[in-house]
Structure formats: structure tokens, C-alpha cells
Structure 1
């Protein structure tokens, strides 16, 4: 089967020297093949792969892979030929953006690998990937260091993959290793039925620097001689001339023009060729397949050009008239739209400044699938639309505002929307623009909630008569809450908490018809969260249960999970460990059943809150605890992740790191105000400063949180911190600079002390349960596997283990995979953590 894949590469030179390097690389979890274009990186890996018994997964990366969903779908297809079970599992899930989902993927992969399936996973054209989430995924996959898996990363540039680059955990193959030597150059010329004597071979190597691309071009055409004057290093204009003579002018004019047109795109779908080509498409595809500088990606049915050949074709665009260029982009835009590739369609329409079709494509681009990178690209385009067009088409300003909200520039979005609403109201919108004004009001409601003000009620009242039938604005599965707390106080005037109960009832009545199914359960969730702040615990359970019921029937997964999260928080505060465990299991099960990638960060944050409350940072997802790095692509609901990360640092007595995370959070919250997150941030900062001995600043930060809450008698968000809060309350009482209410401090001290006792009992229960859970796993290991487990903990290599234990290298590998399989571990680090938690290393050997 594999030989058929590479049957076309009859010109490949058998490079035993390079194959030996790859053989050595199989002992590493990660191999990088990094060199510029034309070094035969992919060819060298292909040539090695066809002679190995490993299962091969080859993923040729394109720019479209910067969209996580697209990356995941193409990766699943790449795995389907050799590992169909893995492909099916990937196809059923989503890109593992959340650490829980990522860990589940590793478990699935481990089950397959540890059943005797050795695999070679190749990521080709790694320079195409710039998306931070995908780079973090690749970094995590590499760091997992899984048995029976070697990852090869092919790129024109050095990969940005964390600490692994240059730290000895991987093998690097670069230009020096891929350059042809004298023996390989002679072999190459023989492949093309040419002879190269020692003298000519030396001159060729001197002129080309052993660059495989130039040597191939010279060897493939007898007229090309070494004395043609490459200079000391190969230059593009020389290679371009070789492209011109041998891979361009020999084609018919119609095919030349088609190649130039296709160079407009990065990765050319087969269907796009059919849309653009007016001739014989079968003949065209056959001609492209024979060109060694055009490759075909079978998993996605796309052609892609070798980069230098692509650059060469790009310089030929003057052959096309302006009308031909416009027609090409227009046809491509239509084809991309018809297939749902709206980002590619936007690119095409922007190139020809077709504003009307651009807006049409923009309308179909799902908002919740826009990454910051794609949103910023579109925003940059919209900001360059002619003023006259924008004035006649107000929807452009609406989209600009929505993108600013996506980018958390709330103030700017509010200014645009307010001006747009005023303009439409003044004009008295015609029937066709009533829907536009209705959308503007909905966006202004969103802005008002981000700004924690009550203007949303007024906009809801204005929007209601525009849509008497209701439900035209949002799709049923829109995320209106995300991973955030919805309750807020616009200010701390006395009685404001009670006023918010009245406000949310009024808002519920005014907005009942606005969202349709989207947002179902929102007002119940808001009431439940407000009840928690007021310590009306019966109302918390009643309204959170109502929120679950209403949101679940409408598929509003984020509202369901936030309501469950509030129930979990209540159980933890009341010291009900079993209830908290049960609710966490419900959240996990619901998330898995929903299959919605957008809510996995919420699951991780909720799990992080649970384990942090119990003082256990080892179970917190690594991306939250600081081990994997928090995402730089700030989501609309940023805040919870930073709070969990800061608490992990605080529990591990890394107070400086915790304080730094909170300072970063403050910079984010300048743009949008999340009341609960800001209060919690001030409290944790105070605790960190107190632990570092800076009492004055600690009390000042405590004062900031106090000023947001005390006049409404909100205590619970302070009491949740237990004994450290007792010390902080004592410090606040002892100072004289700030005038704290002593009765409020007494209540904080009293409730924090009571919570500390309940929490201590829960922590003890949690530690005992953890030991019981893992002990059963350890009892399954054989005596020999326990010996290998201890060797793993000592950091011994496989060769060293074999020598000490008197078993073969194959036997060592077999024991290691059995250990991982029995413990449910992903790698060495995971197995050591599980064994250490059960005290296996404390037992007599």
C-alpha cells in the first residue's frame, strides 16, 4: 500500500546516510527537519517512511489549518488510512482546546499505541502554522513523549514549540545534513541517465552548495551544465530561469495562464480548478500531477506548489489582464462560499474589492467560530471600506462593532453602536432596515452587560416592538454567557443588590422575545448568582435548577454548565463533599454529551475551582495551573482562567507569580468589567501581599474589594478563602488609615472561620479518596513491572534498564507499554505521578 503512494518518485536517491539519521531519531519522541525550500525535506522523510514498518500519519499543513476545527478535521483524515479507530474518535470530537479534552485524546492515542502499534506522525510544512492554540496542541503532544510514537516536524523555519527546541529532547536534521555529498550527487545523475565525473561533481557541489533542488534541475536536463554560472551560492533568478525553460514554456499558453491563476491561492482544491479552468480539467490535473514541483494532498483533495515554484509563478501575474484577475477571484470566491469556506471567500472578494459579495460572505461566517486572527483580518478590511459605501450600507458598522466586541474593545464598539442607533432612529428605519436596528439594540445590550451598567434594559424595551414574532436574532446554539459569571453590581450604593433582583425581572420581561432559544435560562442564572451573593441558598438551588431546565431544552450549553458550576460552588461552601463530587461528574458528563468545543474551557475552570478549593493543584488542568501557559488569544469571557492560575500559584507559595497573573488580569479588565472577577482578583492580591509581608499594600487591596461589596453586605466571596481571610481581616482591623466597618469585618472573620473548618474536613476526605482510587491500579502491576516502574522514576534509559534487569530492549519496551496501559498513564511523567501518589517508591524493593 505504501509503495503505491511513492511510486511516482522514481528519481529519489537512496540516501543511506540520511536514513541512518532517521533511524537514530526513532529513539527520540520528536525529530525536526528544518531547512529552506528545495532541500528535499519531505522527500527524505517519505523515502525513509516507505522502508519502515511503523504506521504512517502524514499531515501536510496549510494556512487553512490555522483554524483549529479545520486542522482537526484534516488531521483525522490523515490518520484514517493507517489508524482508522483513532480517526473515528477524532472525527466524533472537536479540536482539544481544553486540557481535559486534550488529555482524553492522549488517552485514546495511548490505547492504540500501547497495543503494539508503532506510529510515525509527520507534520509537513510546519511554517504554515501560526495559531497559538494549535502550536500549544503540538507542543503538548510532543511533551507527552509517548511510547511507540515518533513525531517528525518538517518546516522551512525553526519551530516555535516551547522548551523542546534545543534542549536535547529531540533530534535536529538541518540543511547541513540534507545537502548532497559527492556520492549522492553521482547517484542522482545516474537516476537521470547522466554521468558526472569527479571534476564536474566537485564544481556542481561548489556552485550549488549541495542544494538538492538546483542539483535536480541541472541533472534532469542535459543542456544544463555547471558552467552556466550559478555563482558561489544558488540565486533565485537562476532557478527561475530553470523553471521558465523546463516547467513553464513547455506548457501550452492556456495551461501557463491557469498555473498563474492558481498561484493566487495557498493550497488549491480540486473543485476550484474545475471552477476556474475552462478547458479539459482531466488533462489539467494530469499535467499538474506530473510536475514534480506540484504535490497533491489526498486527504483534502488539494494541490500545493513548492514554495519557490509558487514564487516564480507569482512573478508571472503580469501575463493576466485586470479583468482575468478579477474573474479568477470572483469565481474562486463563489466556489469557496458554496463549500462553506467563508474565510477564503473573504480573501478573494477583498483582493478585487468586491464589497457587496464580501458582506454577503461575512453574513454567513459564524461568529462563534471566528478566531482573533481571522476577526482582526476582517476588521482590518472593514476599516478600509470607502466611506461612501459604509454610509449607504450601515451593516458594515454593525459588523465592525461586533468584531470590536470579539476583540474586547468594548468602549469603541459601544461608540459605533450608539452612533449607528441614533442615526437609524433619526431616519426612521424603512422595513428592510428594522432588522438591522434590532441587531444594533441586541449588540448594545451585550455591551451594557460587559460594562456592568443598566442601559441594557432600555435597549431591550426599544428592541421588543421591532420583533413581535421573536427569536430572529440568534441561532439556537449561540453562546451568550460563555465561561463567565453573569451577576454584577454597577456600583456599591446601599440597596443595589436588592435593586438588581428587580432589574433582572424587568429585563426578563422586556427581553423575553429577543433571543428566541438563544439565552434561554439567562435571567434564572443571573437570579441564582445574585442569590448566592446574598446568601439565599434556597433560591440558589431553585433558580439554578430552573436555569438548567430552561437552557437544556434550548441547547444553551454554556448556561447549563454555569448553573451547575454555581451548584458546585454552593456545595463546596457548605462543606458537602459528596454533593460537590456528584455535581462535578454531572458537569463532565454533560460536556461530553454536548460535544461543544466552546464549553470545554468552562469544564476545565470548574474542575480547577473544585480542586483548588480542596488544596490539590496536581489535578488542576495544566493550562490553568501555569504549566501549559495561559492562552494569549484572550476570549470574550477572560477572567476565570487567570483566577484559577493565580490561586494555584498562591497555594504553591509562588506569590510573585500569582501577583503577576493578577496584574495581567487587571489590564484586561480595563476594557471590560466583570464584577465578580474584579472582586476576587483584589482579594487574592491582598492574600499574596500579606503572605509576602507587605501589610500596607495587602490592606489597600483588601480595601478595594471591600469598597465594591460592604454596603450591600456581601460576605461570601471573602469567606470562601477560609483561614487566610481571618488573618487579613485581623490586619484590616489593626490598621488606622482605612475606615473599615468593624461589624462587617467581624462577620467576615466569623464566616471564614466556619468555612475553614468545613473545608479542612473536605480536604482530608479528598486525600483519602485519592489514595484509594490509585491503589487499585498499582495492585495490577507484576513484580517485574514494579521494578521497571522504579527504573522509570530514577530516570534510567531503556538500555540502562535492560542491563540492570537482565532483559532485552524489546522486553523493556513491552513492560513500559504494559505499565502505561494498566495505570491509564500517557507517558513516563504521568506514570511516576500516579505511582508516587500511592507510595510505591516508599515500599521495600
Structure 2
């Protein structure tokens, strides 16, 4: 090899150098080519050139090693270590699975990387490994949003964007293809000359033809020629060639080293030494990387194998004795465990079959690092793990049970329950108090199966409190007690006439829960009491509970409780017509959640604000992810009923009445399944409103009557007042029939004040004039009719049916007390709204 000192030099053709200039002019540049075409080599050369001539430019680089979103996100945060605050914020945000989270991510980047003349590049290699299309969507979004801050350089074996996306991107997309990377015949000859090879022209020409410009094949042939003076067959299997040319000629010790270290995706010299456990690690790395272009070391000291070499050595590793493979993976798991990289440690321990260490890792991390993407993986671990080992790891079993409940694997959770109880019964090494502590943890976890039955949950939690001498190890006190739901009352009110009993039970049981979970959910009982008083229009009592809840949540940093308390605060501000208070709560809460990196609760805040905006008729303010359909995948399961109720309220405010009615079966089944009485009450009111607008007064009356029957035994009047613009005539008709006359009178009185308060807020925040008690859609139609537009013209403009417009106008004239016999009804509207034509 000493005769060919330039054999491992990077070779970039002049044609490719020219093609690489596209990177500077495109928002996104893709480098797409099959394995072995030199994508990474070319971009590494380009990066070195930019660093040499533009030392102030920033180039961030990330390699994708697994299809895991968690691993990708960890890698991104690692790539941003030069911006520690941004890296910490993104770590808290997590992989953005929706447009709201993408927007937050972009805002965080904008704050951390202000616009300057200094260029910033983000290089993402091996993108084909990440098969989830969400990443491509994220990159497209960021490229548009951050086009003046960051340019993206993406390397992949397969196309990243679809044809339509590429066409839309136009000149903002730069594309480097396999044809740009492959070597032409004259370029193969130039490459050989640069390496110092004195081969015959016909041999070089034959190699160029046989390899079809595949640079890896050309390099392997050059390597073989340097070693043996002969060319290798271009038709041979590439992995056999790598073995023949790169591995077999090496001393046995170097081969063993390469095969062992190849189980990692990338490694430092320190990690290699940990795995190799010999003193010559640095010498081996130095020798191998200098004599082998398939091993590279980046500017951060991380070594990586080329994919083909890594696949080759992993095939060799799989042929080692099983005990050697297990020992290597177990040691790799120890490496990750020592660095608190729990998921990587657990995956390595699983490969090693080191179940005891895997269970220890689960216990130490409390399962916090395992997101929903690992739901099936966790289930498989639970099923595969020997029962004898589970018996000896009660902490891990409790963590598994808790996580399996969250991932909806209840049968497996119950199987583990039996294992846990048996282990506690037979384990003679435990003291009596330790056994009681574990039984208390069991009571906490098993209590989740009784979710939203306060009495049933309370019994388990009271038992836990009497048993335990320490805090729970399987429930994270920093997690969202509400599961991201915006209302405690909506979560836990489940039976007609039982609201006082439910709030009393909440006050009674929650202190026991606090004692064993280090204050998790502190303030929940005050929120539920405040919401109860608000529903009954007892504002002074509601305000007291509101302040108690905010104080308790703030002291114990219970952000999810803080959001539910502030949702109550928003609704009270709306009732009071206090625009400044409403604005202050909304903006202050969003700033606080971001400052405290509570990004998951920003979706909860969006739900709260959507409710307020819908009641105000300001549906254009509703966040896009809710307006576009409010997918339940955006929230945890206990929050799904509330998201559904809020979305239907939005549809109602939009005037999409047929969609509201179509939601009845699906929503009713969901609310019944989770025993959400409050959501059911809202649904009947929403259906009454929509059916009335569609001209089905009889059905509307029945829905409203059902809502009253469900709500009034608990004194709940506020839901009717909040929707009174839609149901006022129905309420008056029921009152005339002597159905709940006194309660309806209270609702009508409250509704009149509520309407005035809403108008004050609309004037203060958006400068809107009097709405005359019309809903947002009705007001829109009335103003168009006041401009003397025909029903057809209004229908075309609003994309509604003419029949809907006719029915709406009838309701409008009725609410405005314009006689149906009047021949100048539209003139009356024009006078009322004084709208210019």
C-alpha cells in the first residue's frame, strides 16, 4: 500500500464539482442515488470546501441510523449542541406530528437563529432509512418557513418527495442524481491516474463499462489491483467483494475489531475502547481509517462505516457464537445505560437477551423515554421476557403495567398483574414494608382501569396511601395529570344528579393520591369545584376555586392543572365581558407553556381557545389542526371526548349544521363509552341548535329537552346560556309548554347578560358591532342579505344550499322580530345593519 499513497483520497470529478454549486441556490437540495454511488463522500468534500472558504458559515450534520422518530429527534438535538437552549427546547417538544407542533418548532428555530448574511446548512444523510412520510412533510414545511435562515441538504437512496411536490417546489429544489455522481470512462481514467495506478487503457475502459460508473465498484477494483495486480470481476456480489478486498487481507485482530465495533451505528474512540476492551483501540482505528475509504471520521470524532462495509461486518457478526454476540450487545447496552440513553440501552439488552438488565433499565427510566412509537416493542418485550425474571423485578413489572395501559394492551397488563402478585407473595427477600410499598404501587396502577369512576379509583388510591412509605416509582409527577384534557369536570362528571357527590369524592380522595405521587395533579379538586359553580352561575364561588387552583398548580408546577384552571378563567371572563382578562389569560398561558417547555399542552390550549372563539363566532381564529378535522390522534385517549365536543361546537359556529347532525352517532357512542355526561349534554344542545337551523323544529325540541333532563338535576345552566343564540326560540317554546319553566327563565335571563358580554368582547378585541343575538353564521347571512343579495347569490358565496339560506333567513327575521308578512324584510335588514352595498 505504500506505493499508492493516494488510493484513499476523495476523488470528485470536475463535472460533479460544478453540479454541487446548486446547493447554494436552493432551499432544499436532494442527493438521490443507490448505495455506493458516493453521495456521502461528495457532500463531505463539499462541506470541507465551504468550511475552508467560508469559515463563518454553519453546517449542521445528522446521520439517520434507525427508522425511529425518537432516535431521529435525539440525533437532531445532538446536532444542535452548539445551540444548547434550542436543543433543550426541541428535546422537550418532541417529534412534531402535526402542523401546530411544526409551527412551534419553526418559531423556536427563528428565535435561536436570527436572519443574517451568514449561511446555515442542515445536512441530513441516509434519509431513506426513515420511512415515515411525516419527516418529508416536516422538512418541506421548515424549508418554506425558514428559507431565509436555513438551507436543507438531504441524502437518500430513494426519492424523498413526490412528483407533485417536486413540481410545486420549482426552482427552490435542487436535485443531484446518480448520473451526476457516476464516473464516465474518462473520469475513471483520471481517478486511476490520481491514485498512481499504471493500468492499461483497455483495462480502465473495461472497468468503466463493467462498473457503469459505480464509484464503490471502481474503488474496490483499484484496491484489488493495488494489492494483487489483478482486477476483480465486476459481476461479483458486492458484499463478497468487500469481504475479499477489505476484510480478508487484514490481520485477524483488525478483522475481529471491525466485526465487533460494527454493531454500532456510529462510535467514538472512547466507545470503541469500551466495546473492544483492549489497549490498542486508537492504533487500530488510526490504521483502519487511513487505509480504508469505507471508514470515515467526522469533525466531532465520530467514526462511521460505509453502509456496505457495515452490512458486511454485521453479517460476519451474526455468524459468531451466540454467547459472544450476547456479550457484545450487553456491553453496548451498558455503554448507553451509563449515559442515560435508556431506549438505546434497552434495545441493546433485548438483542443480547439480557432480560435482567433490560428490566433494570425500564425501572430506572420509569418508562418515560418510551413514546407511543414503542408501544408494540414494549408489548413484545413483556410477552417474551421469561416469567422467572419478571418475578424478580417488581419495579419493572409495575412500569410495564402502567405503560401497557397507556398503549391499550390491557390483557397483557392483567397477565402481568398476576405475575406481580405472585412474586410479592413468594419473594422472601422483601421486608414487609417493601412488600406493602409494591402492593401500594399496584393499587395505583390497577386503579387506572377504573378511569373516571371517582369512587372506584379513590378506593385504590386510598389503599395505596395506607400501604406506601414512599412516593410512587412508576408514575411521573411531572406528567400531565389531565392527559391533555381541558376540563376536569368533563373528565369526571359521569352521572345525572351526582355532581355534588362527585366533587365531594374528588375532594376526599385526591389528598391521598397526592401523598404517594409527590403532588401530581395538585389543584384538580379546586378546578372541578370551580367548574361546577360556574355551570350553576355561582361566579363568586367559582372565582375563589379558580384562584385556589391556579395557586396550587403553580406551587407544584402542575401545568396541566394550570391549563384547566385558566380555561375556567377564560369562560368566566367571557361571561363577564372582560376582554382584557380574556386576552391576558390566553397570551400569558401560551407564553408560560412555551417557557416551561410544556409543548404537549399547547394542543390543550388550542382546544380551550377553539371553544371560546366558537362561542364568539370568530371561527377564523381557530387553529388549523382543529379546523381541518381535529384528529383524535392529536390527543391522548381521555382527552378525545372533549376534543370531539369542541370540534362539533366549531362546526356549529361555522354553520355546518348537516355535519353537526352527522356527528351524532359517533360522538354519542364515544361519550357513552367513557361515561362523559358533560360532553353528552353539549351534544344534545348542539344537535338541537343544528336541527332547528335545518328546519326540523320537532326533533330539535326533543334534543333540547333531553339536554335539560341531563343537566338541570345538577343545576347546570351555563351550557344553555352559552348556546342561547341558537336555542332561544326552542327554550321559549318549552317554557310555554310548562317544561322546566322556572329554570328556563333563569337561563334566558343569564343568556341576555351573556349576549351583552360577548358583544363587549367582540367590540373590544375585533371592533365588531351589535350582533342582535344572531350566531356568527346568521350574522354573516344577514349582512349579505342587507346588501340585497339574492338567496342564490348568498348560497354561492358561502358554499351553502339555497334551502339552508332560506331557513337561516327565517330564523334571522324571527330573532330580529321582523314580521314574516313584511314585504320589505331586506330593507329592514339594511336599516338595521346600515351596510353599504
What is the match of residue 335 of structure 2? 335
Taking the TM superposition and a 5 Å limit, the aligned residue runs for 1:812-831 are: none
C-alpha distance in 2 between matches for 1:220 and 1:194? 10
What is the match of residue 326 of structure 2? 326
User: After alignment, is 219-228 or 147-156 more displaced?
Assistant: 219-228
**Residues 628, 21 of structure 1: alpha-carbon distance in 2 compared, 3 angstrom cutoff:** farther
What is the match of residue 33 of structure 1? 31
C-alpha distance in 2 between matches for 1:728 and 1:204? 87
Taking the TM superposition and a 5 Å limit, the aligned residue runs for 1:268-283 are: 268-279=267-278, 280-283=280-283
Taking the TM superposition and a 5 Å limit, the aligned residue runs for 1:644-793 are: 651=653, 672=674, 676=678, 680=682, 709-721=711-723, 723-726=725-728, 751=750, 754-768=753-767
What is the match of residue 252 of structure 1? 251
Displacement after TM superposition at 1:372 (Å): 0.5
C-alpha distance in 2 between matches for 1:19 and 1:690? 70
What is the match of residue 516 of structure 1? 518
What is the match of residue 241 of structure 1? 240
Displacement after TM superposition at 1:618 (Å): 4.9
TM-score (norm 1): 0.76
Tell me whether 1:119 sits opposite 2:116 in the alignment: no
**Residues 336, 748 of structure 1: alpha-carbon distance in 2 compared, 3 angstrom cutoff:** same
Look up the SS of the partner of 1:171 in the other structure: strand
What is the match of residue 349 of structure 1? 349
Tell me whether 1:501 sits opposite 2:500 in the alignment: no
Give structure 1 stretches of 5+ with no counterpart. 1-6, 232-236, 770-845
What is the match of residue 184 of structure 2? 181
What is the match of residue 582 of structure 2? 580
**Residues 179, 658 of structure 1: alpha-carbon distance in 2 compared, 3 angstrom cutoff:** farther
Taking the TM superposition and a 5 Å limit, the aligned residue runs for 1:116-515 are: 116-129=117-130, 137-144=138-145, 146-147=147-148, 149-159=150-160, 164-165=165-166, 167-169=168-170, 170-194=173-197, 200=203, 203-222=206-225, 228-231=232-235, 238-279=237-278, 280-290=280-290, 291-299=292-300, 302-390=302-390, 397-408=397-408, 412=411, 415=414, 430-448=432-450, 450-468=451-469, 474=475, 476-484=477-485, 485-488=487-490, 494-515=496-517
Displacement after TM superposition at 1:455 (Å): 0.3
Displacement after TM superposition at 1:103 (Å): 4.3
User: After alignment, is 454-463 or 214-223 more displaced?
Assistant: 214-223
C-alpha distance in 1 between matches for 2:390 and 2:661? 45
Contact 1:497 1:712 in 2 (8 A): yes
Deviations 1:84-127 (A, max 9, x none): 5x555444664545767754653564474532223322222223
C-alpha distance in 2 between matches for 1:465 and 1:71? 44
C-alpha distance in 1 between matches for 2:139 and 2:237? 37
Deviations 1:592-636 (A, max 9, x none): 442344444334444544545544455544444439987568566
Taking the TM superposition and a 5 Å limit, the aligned residue runs for 1:830-841 are: none
Contact 1:533 1:714 in 2 (8 A): yes
Contact 1:487 1:529 in 2 (8 A): yes
Aligned residues: 747
Aligned-residue RMSD, C-alpha: 4.4
Contact 2:461 2:509 in 1 (8 A): yes
Displacement after TM superposition at 1:578 (Å): 0.9
User: After alignment, is 86-95 or 372-381 more displaced?
Assistant: 86-95
Look up the SS of the partner of 1:268 in the other structure: coil
**Residues 27, 549 of structure 1: alpha-carbon distance in 2 compared, 3 angstrom cutoff:** same
User: After alignment, is 242-251 or 200-209 more displaced?
Assistant: 200-209
C-alpha distance in 2 between matches for 1:418 and 1:61? 41
Higher relative contact order (CA 8 A, sep 6+): 1
Look up the SS of the partner of 1:487 in the other structure: helix
**Residues 531, 211 of structure 1: alpha-carbon distance in 2 compared, 3 angstrom cutoff:** farther
TM-score (norm 2): 0.77
Displacement after TM superposition at 1:363 (Å): 0.6
What is the match of residue 827 of structure 1? none
Displacement after TM superposition at 1:570 (Å): 2.0
C-alpha distance in 2 between matches for 1:740 and 1:203? 96
**Residues 423, 505 of structure 1: alpha-carbon distance in 2 compared, 3 angstrom cutoff:** farther
User: After alignment, is 50-59 or 119-128 more displaced?
Assistant: 50-59
Displacement after TM superposition at 1:134 (Å): 5.6
Tell me whether 1:553 sits opposite 2:551 in the alignment: no
Contact 2:77 2:87 in 1 (8 A): yes
C-alpha distance in 2 between matches for 1:35 and 1:695? 65
**Residues 451, 494 of structure 1: alpha-carbon distance in 2 compared, 3 angstrom cutoff:** closer
**Residues 547, 275 of structure 1: alpha-carbon distance in 2 compared, 3 angstrom cutoff:** same
**Residues 468, 46 of structure 1: alpha-carbon distance in 2 compared, 3 angstrom cutoff:** closer
C-alpha distance in 1 between matches for 2:573 and 2:318? 70
Deviations 1:714-735 (A, max 9, x none): 332343345235478689999x
Look up the SS of the partner of 2:518 in the other structure: coil
Contact 2:122 2:152 in 1 (8 A): yes
Taking the TM superposition and a 5 Å limit, the aligned residue runs for 1:622-633 are: 622-626=624-628
Look up the SS of the partner of 1:272 in the other structure: helix
Displacement after TM superposition at 1:573 (Å): 3.3
**Residues 130, 648 of structure 1: alpha-carbon distance in 2 compared, 3 angstrom cutoff:** farther
C-alpha distance in 2 between matches for 1:381 and 1:670? 34
Taking the TM superposition and a 5 Å limit, the aligned residue runs for 1:605-620 are: 605-620=607-622
Displacement after TM superposition at 1:153 (Å): 1.6
Deviations 1:484-513 (A, max 9, x none): 122258776553111112211221354352
C-alpha distance in 2 between matches for 1:641 and 1:200? 70
C-alpha distance in 2 between matches for 1:9 and 1:659? 73
Tell me whether 1:14 sits opposite 2:15 in the alignment: no
Deviations 1:33-87 (A, max 9, x none): 222221222223333344455834232233479455x65564355356xxx5x55
Deviations 1:785-813 (A, max 9, x none): xxxxxxxxxxxxxxxxxxxxxxxxxxxxx
Displacement after TM superposition at 1:137 (Å): 4.0
User: After alignment, is 130-139 or 41-50 more displaced?
Assistant: 130-139
C-alpha distance in 2 between matches for 1:731 and 1:161? 57
**Residues 91, 190 of structure 1: alpha-carbon distance in 2 compared, 3 angstrom cutoff:** farther
User: After alignment, is 396-405 or 629-638 more displaced?
Assistant: 629-638
Contact 2:531 2:542 in 1 (8 A): yes
User: After alignment, is 262-271 or 743-752 more displaced?
Assistant: 743-752
C-alpha distance in 1 between matches for 2:23 and 2:152? 10
**Residues 588, 513 of structure 1: alpha-carbon distance in 2 compared, 3 angstrom cutoff:** same
Displacement after TM superposition at 1:20 (Å): 4.1
**Residues 703, 107 of structure 1: alpha-carbon distance in 2 compared, 3 angstrom cutoff:** same
User: After alignment, is 48-57 or 32-41 more displaced?
Assistant: 48-57
Displacement after TM superposition at 1:213 (Å): 1.8
Taking the TM superposition and a 5 Å limit, the aligned residue runs for 1:92-111 are: 94-96=91-93, 103=103, 106-107=106-107, 109-110=109-110
What is the match of residue 790 of structure 1? none
C-alpha distance in 2 between matches for 1:729 and 1:686? 10
